[in-house]
Chains A and B, each alone.
Chain A
Protein backbone atom coordinates (compact mmCIF):
# COMPACT_ATOMS: atom_id res chain seq x y z
CA UNK A 1 0.00 0.00 0.00
CA UNK A 2 1.64 3.18 -1.16
CA UNK A 3 1.57 6.29 0.95
CA UNK A 4 1.30 9.40 -1.17
CA UNK A 5 1.88 13.02 -0.20
CA UNK A 6 -1.88 13.53 -0.31
CA UNK A 7 -2.38 10.72 2.21
CA UNK A 8 0.28 12.14 4.49
CA UNK A 9 -1.29 15.55 4.22
CA UNK A 10 -4.73 14.16 5.08
CA UNK A 11 -3.39 12.12 7.98
CA UNK A 12 -1.48 15.15 9.30
CA UNK A 13 -4.79 17.00 9.28
CA UNK A 14 -6.48 14.18 11.21
CA UNK A 15 -3.65 14.42 13.72
CA UNK A 16 -3.86 18.23 13.75
CA UNK A 17 -0.21 18.74 12.87
CA UNK A 18 0.86 21.52 10.55
CA UNK A 19 3.66 20.37 8.25
CA UNK A 20 5.85 22.67 6.20
CA UNK A 21 6.12 21.69 2.52
CA UNK A 22 9.67 20.48 3.18
CA UNK A 23 8.51 18.38 6.11
CA UNK A 24 5.69 16.95 4.03
CA UNK A 25 8.11 15.97 1.27
CA UNK A 26 10.69 14.43 3.61
CA UNK A 27 8.12 12.67 5.77
CA UNK A 28 6.32 11.14 2.81
CA UNK A 29 9.59 9.59 1.63
CA UNK A 30 10.50 8.27 5.06
CA UNK A 31 7.03 6.89 5.71
CA UNK A 32 7.07 5.13 2.37
CA UNK A 33 10.27 3.31 3.36
CA UNK A 34 8.93 2.46 6.78
CA UNK A 35 5.66 1.14 5.38
CA UNK A 36 7.49 -0.94 2.79
CA UNK A 37 9.33 -2.54 5.67
CA UNK A 38 6.17 -2.98 7.73
CA UNK A 39 4.38 -4.57 4.79
CA UNK A 40 6.33 -7.78 5.36
CA UNK A 41 3.64 -8.51 7.95
CA UNK A 42 1.46 -9.38 5.01
CA UNK A 43 3.37 -12.65 4.70
CA UNK A 44 2.28 -13.97 8.09
CA UNK A 45 -0.51 -16.51 8.21
CA UNK A 46 -3.01 -15.02 10.66
CA UNK A 47 -5.92 -17.29 9.90
CA UNK A 48 -7.74 -18.20 13.13
CA UNK A 49 -5.41 -16.06 15.20
CA UNK A 50 -7.15 -13.80 17.70
CA UNK A 51 -5.75 -10.29 18.26
CA UNK A 52 -4.00 -9.39 21.52
CA UNK A 53 -5.08 -5.97 22.72
CA UNK A 54 -4.50 -6.70 26.38
CA UNK A 55 -1.47 -8.80 27.28
CA UNK A 56 -2.52 -9.48 30.88
CA UNK A 57 -5.13 -12.07 31.78
CA UNK A 58 -7.01 -9.70 34.07
CA UNK A 59 -10.63 -8.59 33.89
CA UNK A 60 -13.25 -6.55 35.72
CA UNK A 61 -11.03 -3.92 37.30
CA UNK A 62 -13.48 -1.68 39.14
CA UNK A 63 -13.52 1.19 41.60
CA UNK A 64 -15.91 1.89 44.47
CA UNK A 65 -18.32 4.81 43.89
CA UNK A 66 -16.99 6.91 46.72
CA UNK A 67 -16.09 10.60 46.20
CA UNK A 68 -12.43 11.53 46.44
CA UNK A 69 -10.92 14.96 46.80
CA UNK A 70 -10.74 16.94 43.59
CA UNK A 71 -8.02 19.36 42.57
CA UNK A 72 -8.68 22.96 43.59
CA UNK A 73 -9.40 25.07 40.51
CA UNK A 74 -6.19 27.04 40.79
CA UNK A 75 -4.12 23.85 40.69
CA UNK A 76 -6.10 22.59 37.71
CA UNK A 77 -5.44 25.84 35.85
CA UNK A 78 -1.87 26.36 37.02
CA UNK A 79 -0.29 25.21 33.77
CA UNK A 80 -2.85 26.79 31.43
CA UNK A 81 -1.38 28.88 28.61
CA UNK A 82 -4.49 31.06 28.71
CA UNK A 83 -7.12 31.30 31.40
CA UNK A 84 -9.90 33.62 32.45
CA UNK A 85 -11.19 33.32 36.00
CA UNK A 86 -11.77 29.65 36.59
CA UNK A 87 -11.95 28.74 32.91
CA UNK A 88 -9.49 27.50 30.32
CA UNK A 89 -9.55 29.73 27.27
CA UNK A 90 -9.34 28.61 23.67
CA UNK A 91 -9.54 30.61 20.46
CA UNK A 92 -12.70 30.88 18.44
CA UNK A 93 -14.14 27.62 17.24
CA UNK A 94 -15.25 27.98 13.64
CA UNK A 95 -18.02 25.52 12.88
Chain B
Protein backbone atom coordinates (compact mmCIF):
# COMPACT_ATOMS: atom_id res chain seq x y z
CA UNK B 1 0.00 0.00 0.00
CA UNK B 2 1.32 3.38 -0.94
CA UNK B 3 1.06 6.01 1.74
CA UNK B 4 1.71 9.72 1.77
CA UNK B 5 3.97 10.95 4.54
CA UNK B 6 2.89 14.10 6.35
CA UNK B 7 5.44 15.79 8.58
CA UNK B 8 5.31 18.93 10.70
CA UNK B 9 8.39 20.27 12.43
CA UNK B 10 8.66 22.27 15.63
CA UNK B 11 11.98 24.01 16.20
CA UNK B 12 12.95 25.71 19.45
CA UNK B 13 15.86 28.10 19.26
CA UNK B 14 17.67 29.99 22.05
CA UNK B 15 17.87 33.71 21.35
CA UNK B 16 21.36 35.08 21.72
CA UNK B 17 20.40 37.86 24.13
CA UNK B 18 22.78 38.86 26.91
CA UNK B 19 20.15 38.33 29.58
CA UNK B 20 17.21 36.04 30.09
CA UNK B 21 13.69 36.65 28.80
CA UNK B 22 12.20 38.04 31.99
CA UNK B 23 15.10 38.88 34.29
CA UNK B 24 18.63 40.28 34.17
CA UNK B 25 20.53 37.03 34.72
CA UNK B 26 23.27 36.30 32.21
CA UNK B 27 22.63 33.69 29.51
CA UNK B 28 26.23 32.50 29.25
CA UNK B 29 26.55 28.81 28.63
CA UNK B 30 28.40 26.29 30.77
CA UNK B 31 28.49 28.02 34.13
CA UNK B 32 28.41 26.28 37.52
CA UNK B 33 24.97 24.97 38.46
CA UNK B 34 22.49 27.46 39.88
CA UNK B 35 24.91 30.37 39.62
CA UNK B 36 22.97 32.28 36.97
CA UNK B 37 19.70 32.57 38.79
CA UNK B 38 17.67 35.16 40.66
CA UNK B 39 14.30 35.31 42.41
CA UNK B 40 12.54 35.89 39.09
CA UNK B 41 13.86 32.97 37.04
CA UNK B 42 13.76 30.77 40.13
CA UNK B 43 10.11 31.63 40.50
CA UNK B 44 10.49 32.65 44.11
CA UNK B 45 7.27 33.81 45.77
CA UNK B 46 6.65 37.48 45.07
CA UNK B 47 8.84 37.67 41.95
CA UNK B 48 7.56 39.21 38.71
CA UNK B 49 8.67 39.02 35.03
CA UNK B 50 9.72 41.94 32.81
CA UNK B 51 10.29 41.24 29.10
CA UNK B 52 13.72 41.70 27.51
CA UNK B 53 13.48 44.27 24.70
CA UNK B 54 16.09 42.55 22.55
CA UNK B 55 14.28 39.21 22.80
CA UNK B 56 11.21 40.86 21.35
CA UNK B 57 13.22 42.56 18.59
CA UNK B 58 14.92 39.30 17.64
CA UNK B 59 11.61 37.49 17.55
CA UNK B 60 10.14 40.10 15.22
CA UNK B 61 13.26 39.87 13.05
CA UNK B 62 12.90 36.11 12.62
CA UNK B 63 9.19 36.37 11.97
CA UNK B 64 9.77 38.92 9.20
CA UNK B 65 12.62 36.90 7.68
CA UNK B 66 10.29 33.90 7.54
CA UNK B 67 7.64 35.95 5.75
CA UNK B 68 5.21 35.80 8.66
CA UNK B 69 2.49 38.27 9.48
CA UNK B 70 3.60 39.99 12.67
CA UNK B 71 0.55 40.65 14.82
CA UNK B 72 -0.15 44.20 15.81
CA UNK B 73 -1.42 43.09 19.20
CA UNK B 74 0.24 40.19 20.99
CA UNK B 75 0.29 38.88 24.54
CA UNK B 76 1.74 36.20 26.73
CA UNK B 77 -0.10 33.30 28.34
CA UNK B 78 0.64 30.85 31.11
CA UNK B 79 1.05 27.21 30.15
CA UNK B 80 0.38 25.32 33.38
CA UNK B 81 1.93 21.95 34.17
CA UNK B 82 4.06 20.44 36.95
CA UNK B 83 7.67 19.47 36.34
CA UNK B 84 10.77 20.03 38.44
CA UNK B 85 12.65 21.94 35.71
CA UNK B 86 9.80 24.48 35.66
CA UNK B 87 10.17 26.51 38.86
CA UNK B 88 6.79 28.23 38.76
CA UNK B 89 5.11 25.08 37.46
CA UNK B 90 3.94 27.19 34.58
CA UNK B 91 5.79 28.42 31.54
CA UNK B 92 5.30 31.94 30.23
CA UNK B 93 4.54 31.31 26.56
CA UNK B 94 2.11 32.47 23.88
CA UNK B 95 -1.13 30.73 23.04
CA UNK B 96 -3.93 32.35 21.03
CA UNK B 97 -2.36 35.68 20.07
CA UNK B 98 1.21 34.71 19.18
CA UNK B 99 3.74 37.20 17.89
CA UNK B 100 3.40 36.05 14.28
CA UNK B 101 1.64 33.62 11.97
CA UNK B 102 1.27 32.34 8.43
CA UNK B 103 4.75 32.60 6.97
CA UNK B 104 6.77 30.29 4.72
CA UNK B 105 10.20 28.96 3.92
CA UNK B 106 11.22 27.64 0.50
CA UNK B 107 13.25 24.47 0.07
CA UNK B 108 14.92 23.19 -3.10
CA UNK B 109 15.10 19.51 -3.80
CA UNK B 110 15.83 17.79 -7.07
CA UNK B 111 15.85 21.11 -8.87
CA UNK B 112 12.35 21.95 -7.67
CA UNK B 113 11.15 24.72 -5.43
CA UNK B 114 8.76 23.73 -2.63
CA UNK B 115 7.11 26.12 -0.21
CA UNK B 116 6.77 24.94 3.40
CA UNK B 117 4.23 26.92 5.37
CA UNK B 118 5.14 28.28 8.78
CA UNK B 119 2.18 28.22 11.09
CA UNK B 120 3.57 30.45 13.80
CA UNK B 121 6.66 31.94 15.42
CA UNK B 122 6.31 32.87 19.05
CA UNK B 123 8.32 33.73 22.18
CA UNK B 124 8.53 31.79 25.41
CA UNK B 125 10.95 30.97 28.23
CA UNK B 126 13.08 27.85 28.53
CA UNK B 127 13.03 25.43 31.45
CA UNK B 128 15.95 24.21 33.55
CA UNK B 129 18.11 21.12 33.22
CA UNK B 130 17.63 17.82 34.95
CA UNK B 131 20.34 15.29 35.68
CA UNK B 132 18.85 11.90 36.37
CA UNK B 133 20.43 9.63 38.92
CA UNK B 134 19.32 6.34 40.38
CA UNK B 135 16.64 7.44 42.85
CA UNK B 136 16.78 11.17 42.50
CA UNK B 137 17.13 13.92 39.97
CA UNK B 138 19.29 17.01 40.26
CA UNK B 139 17.94 20.33 39.05
CA UNK B 140 19.97 23.21 37.62
CA UNK B 141 18.02 26.37 36.88
CA UNK B 142 20.71 28.27 34.94
CA UNK B 143 18.89 27.64 31.69
CA UNK B 144 15.48 28.56 33.12
CA UNK B 145 14.16 31.75 31.64
CA UNK B 146 16.42 31.88 28.58
CA UNK B 147 14.32 33.29 25.73
CA UNK B 148 13.16 30.72 23.22
CA UNK B 149 11.66 31.16 19.84
CA UNK B 150 9.25 28.42 18.82
CA UNK B 151 8.95 27.99 15.06
CA UNK B 152 6.15 25.66 13.98
CA UNK B 153 5.81 24.52 10.41
CA UNK B 154 2.61 23.53 8.67
CA UNK B 155 2.39 19.80 7.95
CA UNK B 156 3.65 20.50 4.41
CA UNK B 157 6.75 18.33 4.60
CA UNK B 158 6.45 14.99 2.85
CA UNK B 159 9.74 13.15 3.30
CA UNK B 160 12.69 12.87 5.66
CA UNK B 161 14.86 14.48 3.01
CA UNK B 162 12.54 17.47 2.79
CA UNK B 163 12.63 17.72 6.57
CA UNK B 164 16.43 17.75 6.46
CA UNK B 165 16.42 20.47 3.81
CA UNK B 166 13.93 22.54 5.80
CA UNK B 167 16.03 22.32 8.94
CA UNK B 168 19.25 23.13 7.10
CA UNK B 169 17.78 26.16 5.39
CA UNK B 170 16.04 27.36 8.55
CA UNK B 171 19.28 27.09 10.53
CA UNK B 172 21.18 28.98 7.87
CA UNK B 173 18.60 31.77 7.88
CA UNK B 174 18.73 32.02 11.67
CA UNK B 175 22.53 32.19 11.55
CA UNK B 176 22.39 34.95 8.97
CA UNK B 177 20.11 36.91 11.27
CA UNK B 178 22.68 36.44 14.06
CA UNK B 179 19.99 35.86 16.65
CA UNK B 180 21.17 32.46 17.85
CA UNK B 181 24.18 30.15 17.99
CA UNK B 182 21.98 27.39 16.56
CA UNK B 183 24.19 24.80 18.24
CA UNK B 184 22.32 21.54 18.69
CA UNK B 185 25.06 20.12 20.85
CA UNK B 186 24.79 23.01 23.29
CA UNK B 187 21.04 22.77 23.15
CA UNK B 188 20.49 26.18 21.60
CA UNK B 189 18.54 24.58 18.76
CA UNK B 190 16.12 21.72 19.32
CA UNK B 191 13.79 19.97 16.97
CA UNK B 192 10.67 17.87 17.46
CA UNK B 193 8.56 16.33 14.72
CA UNK B 194 4.99 15.22 14.16
CA UNK B 195 4.54 12.50 11.57
CA UNK B 196 1.57 10.63 10.17
CA UNK B 197 0.76 8.58 7.11
CA UNK B 198 -2.34 8.58 4.98
CA UNK B 199 -3.55 6.83 1.88
CA UNK B 200 -2.77 8.78 -1.26
CA UNK B 201 -6.24 10.07 -1.98
CA UNK B 202 -7.31 10.51 1.61
CA UNK B 203 -8.17 14.05 2.66
CA UNK B 204 -7.95 13.69 6.41
CA UNK B 205 -4.67 13.23 8.21
CA UNK B 206 -3.73 9.95 9.79
CA UNK B 207 -2.91 9.52 13.47
CA UNK B 208 0.31 11.30 14.24
CA UNK B 209 3.13 10.45 16.56
CA UNK B 210 5.36 13.04 18.09
CA UNK B 211 9.11 12.43 17.82
CA UNK B 212 11.60 13.85 20.31
CA UNK B 213 15.24 13.47 21.30
CA UNK B 214 16.64 13.94 17.80
CA UNK B 215 20.00 15.54 18.48
CA UNK B 216 21.06 16.41 14.96
CA UNK B 217 19.45 17.02 11.59
CA UNK B 218 20.83 13.69 10.44
CA UNK B 219 19.19 12.00 13.42
CA UNK B 220 15.93 13.72 12.56
CA UNK B 221 16.11 12.35 9.03
CA UNK B 222 16.85 8.85 10.32
CA UNK B 223 14.15 8.99 12.96
CA UNK B 224 11.56 10.08 10.44
CA UNK B 225 12.60 7.37 8.00
CA UNK B 226 12.32 4.78 10.75
CA UNK B 227 8.87 6.06 11.74
CA UNK B 228 7.64 5.85 8.16
CA UNK B 229 8.68 2.22 8.04
CA UNK B 230 7.18 1.45 11.43
CA UNK B 231 3.86 3.11 10.65
CA UNK B 232 3.71 1.62 7.16
CA UNK B 233 4.11 -1.84 8.63
CA UNK B 234 1.34 -1.21 11.15
CA UNK B 235 -1.03 0.15 8.55
CA UNK B 236 -0.32 -2.65 6.13
CA UNK B 237 -1.25 -5.11 8.84
CA UNK B 238 -4.44 -3.14 9.46
CA UNK B 239 -3.24 -2.18 12.92
CA UNK B 240 -3.81 1.28 14.38
CA UNK B 241 -1.10 3.84 14.89
CA UNK B 242 -1.28 5.05 18.49
CA UNK B 243 -1.08 8.77 19.12
CA UNK B 244 1.90 9.03 21.42
CA UNK B 245 5.30 10.59 21.97
CA UNK B 246 8.26 8.53 20.83
CA UNK B 247 11.93 9.12 21.50
CA UNK B 248 14.72 8.52 19.03
CA UNK B 249 17.41 6.16 20.23
CA UNK B 250 20.56 7.16 18.37
CA UNK B 251 22.40 4.02 19.44
CA UNK B 252 19.79 1.44 18.57
CA UNK B 253 18.60 3.51 15.62
CA UNK B 254 14.92 3.21 16.44
CA UNK B 255 12.10 5.11 18.08
CA UNK B 256 10.51 3.90 21.28
CA UNK B 257 7.40 4.97 23.11
CA UNK B 258 7.64 7.33 26.07
CA UNK B 259 4.79 5.45 27.68
CA UNK B 260 3.23 8.36 29.60
CA UNK B 261 -0.16 7.65 31.12
CA UNK B 262 -1.23 11.26 30.62
CA UNK B 263 -3.78 11.77 27.92
CA UNK B 264 -3.59 15.07 26.06
CA UNK B 265 -2.20 17.41 28.71
CA UNK B 266 -4.59 20.11 29.88
CA UNK B 267 -2.36 23.16 30.05
CA UNK B 268 -5.13 25.49 31.18
CA UNK B 269 -3.76 28.39 29.16
CA UNK B 270 -4.87 31.84 30.32
CA UNK B 271 -3.51 35.36 29.68
CA UNK B 272 -0.42 36.14 31.75
CA UNK B 273 -1.68 38.79 34.21
CA UNK B 274 1.84 39.94 35.16
CA UNK B 275 2.66 41.12 31.61
CA UNK B 276 0.60 43.82 29.88
CA UNK B 277 0.10 43.14 26.16
CA UNK B 278 2.40 44.37 23.39
CA UNK B 279 1.47 46.54 20.46
CA UNK B 280 3.83 46.24 17.50
CA UNK B 281 3.61 49.24 15.22
CA UNK B 282 4.40 49.26 11.53
CA UNK B 283 7.25 51.66 12.29
CA UNK B 284 8.76 49.06 14.59
CA UNK B 285 8.42 46.39 11.93
CA UNK B 286 10.07 48.64 9.34
CA UNK B 287 12.90 49.47 11.72
CA UNK B 288 13.60 45.81 12.31
CA UNK B 289 13.14 44.83 8.68
CA UNK B 290 16.03 47.14 7.83
CA UNK B 291 18.31 45.08 10.04
CA UNK B 292 17.65 41.88 8.08
CA UNK B 293 20.66 41.14 5.87
CA UNK B 294 20.53 39.55 2.42
CA UNK B 295 19.44 35.99 3.18
CA UNK B 296 21.18 32.84 1.85
CA UNK B 297 18.86 32.14 -1.08
CA UNK B 298 18.97 35.71 -2.35
CA UNK B 299 22.72 35.85 -1.95
CA UNK B 300 23.14 32.56 -3.81
CA UNK B 301 21.03 33.73 -6.74
CA UNK B 302 22.89 37.01 -6.87
CA UNK B 303 26.31 35.32 -6.96
CA UNK B 304 25.09 33.22 -9.87
CA UNK B 305 23.65 36.23 -11.64
CA UNK B 306 26.44 38.72 -11.04
CA UNK B 307 29.51 36.49 -11.20
CA UNK B 308 28.42 33.56 -13.32
CA UNK B 309 28.89 30.98 -10.58
CA UNK B 310 27.27 27.59 -10.81
CA UNK B 311 24.27 27.27 -8.50
CA UNK B 312 25.84 24.19 -6.97
CA UNK B 313 29.00 26.09 -6.04
CA UNK B 314 27.16 29.21 -4.92
CA UNK B 315 25.00 27.16 -2.58
CA UNK B 316 28.05 25.83 -0.80
CA UNK B 317 29.56 29.27 -0.47
CA UNK B 318 26.47 30.87 1.08
CA UNK B 319 25.85 28.25 3.72
CA UNK B 320 27.74 30.35 6.25
CA UNK B 321 27.23 34.12 6.31
CA UNK B 322 30.77 35.23 7.12
CA UNK B 323 32.26 32.80 4.67
CA UNK B 324 29.81 34.07 2.09
CA UNK B 325 30.91 37.66 2.66
CA UNK B 326 34.56 36.65 2.52
CA UNK B 327 34.00 34.61 -0.60
CA UNK B 328 32.19 37.44 -2.28
CA UNK B 329 34.99 39.84 -1.49
CA UNK B 330 37.47 37.45 -3.07
CA UNK B 331 35.32 36.88 -6.10
CA UNK B 332 34.85 40.59 -6.63
CA UNK B 333 38.54 41.35 -6.26
CA UNK B 334 39.65 38.51 -8.55
CA UNK B 335 40.13 40.31 -11.80
CA UNK B 336 39.44 37.45 -14.13
CA UNK B 337 35.93 37.17 -15.49
CA UNK B 338 36.12 33.44 -15.12
CA UNK B 339 35.70 32.93 -11.41
CA UNK B 340 35.99 29.17 -11.50
CA UNK B 341 39.57 29.00 -10.20
CA UNK B 342 38.86 31.06 -7.14
CA UNK B 343 35.63 29.19 -6.45
CA UNK B 344 37.45 25.89 -6.70
CA UNK B 345 40.08 27.06 -4.27
CA UNK B 346 37.39 28.31 -1.87
CA UNK B 347 35.41 25.12 -1.94
CA UNK B 348 38.49 22.92 -2.16
CA UNK B 349 41.71 23.85 -0.43
CA UNK B 350 40.48 26.68 1.76
CA UNK B 351 37.52 24.68 3.06
CA UNK B 352 39.70 21.64 3.68
CA UNK B 353 42.17 23.75 5.65
CA UNK B 354 39.37 25.31 7.65
CA UNK B 355 37.81 21.92 8.40
CA UNK B 356 41.11 20.52 9.60
CA UNK B 357 41.29 23.42 12.04
CA UNK B 358 37.65 23.08 13.04
CA UNK B 359 36.73 26.58 11.98
CA UNK B 360 35.17 28.45 9.08
CA UNK B 361 37.14 29.87 6.14
CA UNK B 362 36.60 33.45 7.26
CA UNK B 363 37.95 32.49 10.68
CA UNK B 364 41.25 31.47 9.05
CA UNK B 365 41.74 35.22 8.66
CA UNK B 366 43.65 35.09 5.43
CA UNK B 367 43.47 38.61 4.00
CA UNK B 368 41.60 38.61 0.70
CA UNK B 369 44.45 40.24 -1.18
CA UNK B 370 46.93 37.60 -0.01
CA UNK B 371 44.68 34.78 -1.06
CA UNK B 372 44.17 36.23 -4.49
CA UNK B 373 47.90 36.63 -4.89
CA UNK B 374 48.37 32.95 -4.10
CA UNK B 375 45.81 31.86 -6.65
CA UNK B 376 47.32 34.16 -9.23
CA UNK B 377 50.76 32.65 -8.61
CA UNK B 378 49.40 29.15 -9.09
CA UNK B 379 46.86 29.50 -11.85
CA UNK B 380 48.10 32.33 -13.97
CA UNK B 381 51.75 32.92 -13.34
CA UNK B 382 52.35 29.28 -12.67
CA UNK B 383 55.19 30.05 -10.32
CA UNK B 384 54.25 27.10 -8.17
CA UNK B 385 52.17 24.04 -8.71
CA UNK B 386 48.74 23.51 -7.36
CA UNK B 387 50.09 21.02 -4.86
CA UNK B 388 52.75 23.40 -3.62
CA UNK B 389 50.11 26.08 -3.50
CA UNK B 390 48.12 24.07 -0.99
CA UNK B 391 51.04 23.79 1.40
CA UNK B 392 51.81 27.46 0.94
CA UNK B 393 48.24 28.16 1.97
CA UNK B 394 48.65 26.25 5.19
CA UNK B 395 51.87 28.15 5.84
CA UNK B 396 50.00 31.42 5.19
CA UNK B 397 47.36 30.53 7.77
CA UNK B 398 49.93 29.52 10.36
CA UNK B 399 52.42 32.33 9.91
CA UNK B 400 50.21 35.08 8.54
CA UNK B 401 52.88 35.74 5.91
CA UNK B 402 52.01 36.43 2.29
CA UNK B 403 52.38 33.83 -0.45
CA UNK B 404 55.20 35.60 -2.21
CA UNK B 405 57.06 35.93 1.09
CA UNK B 406 56.77 32.27 1.79
CA UNK B 407 57.73 31.20 -1.73
CA UNK B 408 60.80 33.38 -1.55
CA UNK B 409 61.82 32.21 1.93
CA UNK B 410 61.40 28.55 1.15
CA UNK B 411 62.67 28.76 -2.37
CA UNK B 412 59.57 27.12 -3.73
CA UNK B 413 59.40 28.91 -7.03
CA UNK B 414 58.84 26.61 -9.90
CA UNK B 415 61.34 26.44 -12.65
CA UNK B 416 59.70 28.21 -15.52
CA UNK B 417 62.75 28.79 -17.63
CA UNK B 418 61.90 26.74 -20.67
CA UNK B 419 65.51 26.22 -21.64
CA UNK B 420 66.22 24.59 -18.30
CA UNK B 421 63.09 22.49 -18.57
CA UNK B 422 63.83 21.49 -22.12
CA UNK B 423 67.27 20.35 -21.07
CA UNK B 424 65.87 18.27 -18.21
CA UNK B 425 63.21 16.80 -20.46
CA UNK B 426 65.73 15.78 -23.08
CA UNK B 427 67.84 14.13 -20.40
CA UNK B 428 64.90 12.14 -19.15
CA UNK B 429 63.99 11.06 -22.65
CA UNK B 430 67.51 9.80 -23.14
CA UNK B 431 67.50 7.96 -19.81
CA UNK B 432 64.15 6.20 -20.34
CA UNK B 433 64.00 4.76 -23.82
CA UNK B 434 61.49 2.08 -22.95
CA UNK B 435 58.96 4.57 -21.66
CA UNK B 436 59.44 6.68 -24.72
CA UNK B 437 58.75 3.65 -26.85
CA UNK B 438 55.66 2.83 -24.81
CA UNK B 439 54.31 6.32 -25.16
CA UNK B 440 54.96 6.48 -28.85
CA UNK B 441 53.24 3.11 -29.03
CA UNK B 442 50.10 4.62 -27.56
CA UNK B 443 50.46 4.12 -23.79
CA UNK B 444 49.61 7.50 -22.29
CA UNK B 445 50.61 6.36 -18.80
CA UNK B 446 54.15 6.33 -19.99
CA UNK B 447 54.01 10.08 -20.52
CA UNK B 448 52.96 10.60 -16.95
CA UNK B 449 55.89 8.48 -15.85
CA UNK B 450 58.25 10.67 -17.83
CA UNK B 451 56.67 13.78 -16.33
CA UNK B 452 57.32 12.25 -12.95
CA UNK B 453 60.95 11.71 -13.79
CA UNK B 454 61.38 15.36 -14.75
CA UNK B 455 59.68 16.38 -11.52
CA UNK B 456 62.21 14.22 -9.65
CA UNK B 457 65.12 15.85 -11.41
CA UNK B 458 63.78 19.33 -10.65
CA UNK B 459 62.96 18.44 -7.05
CA UNK B 460 59.33 19.10 -7.74
CA UNK B 461 59.91 22.63 -8.76
CA UNK B 462 58.72 22.27 -12.31
CA UNK B 463 55.15 22.82 -13.32
CA UNK B 464 53.94 19.38 -14.39
CA UNK B 465 51.58 20.78 -16.99
CA UNK B 466 54.37 22.70 -18.64
CA UNK B 467 56.63 19.60 -18.55
CA UNK B 468 53.94 17.54 -20.11
CA UNK B 469 53.68 19.94 -23.03
CA UNK B 470 57.41 20.09 -23.51
CA UNK B 471 57.71 16.31 -23.53
CA UNK B 472 54.84 15.97 -25.94
CA UNK B 473 56.49 18.39 -28.31
CA UNK B 474 59.86 16.71 -28.02
CA UNK B 475 58.38 13.30 -28.67
CA UNK B 476 56.32 14.19 -31.65
Contacts and interface: CB of A to CB of B under 8 A. Distances in A.
A87 B140 contact: yes
B108 interface: no
Contacts of A70: 25-26, 35-38
A63 B50 contact: yes
A87 to B, nearest CB: 4
A53 B25 contact: no
A71 B52 contact: no
Contacts of A86: 32-35, 140
A64 to B, nearest CB: 6
Given A63-B24, A63-B51, A93-B84, A72 B138 contact: no
A74 to B, nearest CB: 9
Interface stretch (B190-198, B268-276, B412-420): B268-276
Contacts of B137: 89-93
B interface SS class = loop
Contacts of B56: 62
Interface in A49-95: 53-54, 56, 58-73, 76-77, 84-93, 95
B474 interface: no
B39 interface: yes
Interface in B113-139: 130-132, 134-139
Given A59-B277, A67-B25, A89 B34 contact: no
B52 A62 contact: yes
Given A67-B19, A71-B37, A61 B32 contact: no
A41 interface: no
Interface in B375-390: none
Chain B, interface size: which category?
Answer: 35 or more
A2 interface: no
A16 interface: yes
Most buried by A among B36, B56, B75, B136: B136
B179 to A, nearest CB: 12
A1 interface: no
A44 interface: no
A64 B268 CA distance: 31
Contacts of A34: none
Interface residues of A, number: 34
A46 interface: no
Interface string B18-42: 1100011110000011111111001
A14 interface: yes
A53 B271 contact: yes
B278 interface: yes
B26 A62 contact: no
Contacts of A62: 50-53, 56
Given A67-B25, A95-B258, A16 B82 contact: yes
B375 to A, nearest CB: 43
A90 to B, nearest CB: 5
A65 B52 contact: yes
B54 interface: yes
B422 interface: no
A68 B403 CA distance: 48
A63 B57 CA distance: 12
Given A56-B276, A76-B141, 18 more contacts: A54-B273, A54-B276, A62-B51, A62-B53, A63-B24, A64-B53, A69-B24, A70-B37, A71-B39, A73-B37, A76-B42, A87-B33, A89-B138, A91-B136, A92-B134, A93-B84, A95-B258, A95-B260
13 contacts: A53-B270, A59-B277, A60-B276, A61-B50, A62-B56, A65-B55, A73-B32, A86-B34, A86-B140, A87-B34, A88-B138, A88-B141, A90-B136
| In the complex, the 10 A-B pairs of residues with the closest C-beta atoms, listed nearest first | A68-B24, A87-B138, A53-B271, A65-B54, A62-B53, A86-B33, A88-B139, A63-B50, A90-B84, A73-B34
